[in-house]
Amino acid sequence: MNRSKVSIVMSQIIEKIEKIVGFCWGAFFTLGALISMFDDEKDGIGLILILWGLAALGFWVFYLGIKRRKMRLEFMKYITQLSVDPSGSLENLASATGESVGVVKANLHYMINKRFFTDAFINEQTNQLILPAMAQKTQQQAQATQYMAAGAVQPELVVCTCRCCGGINKIAKGTAGECDFCGSPLQG
């Protein structure tokens, strides 16, 4: 199993745990704080503030789960766009998703840190997402063009959709390859 797929699955599991635990934690301590505020006994202000603080902590964990889900869904959108436009240009990604370049860059940094993209990095000078697998495939396609010019027969390419990330890849018919985006094995 490749690193990208493992990272995405782990992120999905952590997301669900954060949402469930955060909501239950926040609701429990919110209820405790409200009961402490309005019961007949005089609870200290310190206890009430601690309960509100713990409730806020629970809802913050819930928010982290929501943010993690948003990033996973953004990853799927970015993969789809990169399949259509393999240049990796952040400007193109931003215009396709309706976000600013700064937001796209921040999202990509988050995704790279969480290992959603295998061995990817952002080239700050050209403002591009660099995927080594995609760069290698582009180089192979350039070599294939040179072979065709020399009279050699180029193998027939087929379009494969990755089962892990949904990325669209081109590989030689009848061969095995890797997804350009997440590194999952593909069959041509």
Q: Does some domain include residue 159?
A: yes
Its domain, for residue 138, covers 132-187
Q: And the tokens for 186? A: 């593909």
Please provide the DSSP assignment of 15-70 as one string.
Answer: HHHHHHHHHHHHHHHHHHHHHHHHSSS---HHHHHHHHHHHHHHHHHHHHHHHHHH
What pLDDT score does 109 carry?
93
Q: What is the pLDDT of residues 104-149, one digit of tens each?
A: 999 999 999 988 887 888 999 998 998 876 655 655 555 556 656 6
Q: Does some domain include residue 15?
A: no
Q: How many domains does the chain have?
A: 1
Q: Does some domain include residue 143?
A: yes
Q: Does some domain include residue 81?
A: no
Q: And the tokens for 71? A: 């990033």
Tell me: pLDDT of 95 over 50: yes
Query: What pTM did the predictor assign?
Result: 0.70
Q: What does the DSSP 8-state code read for residue 155?
A: P
Q: Does some domain include residue 176?
A: yes
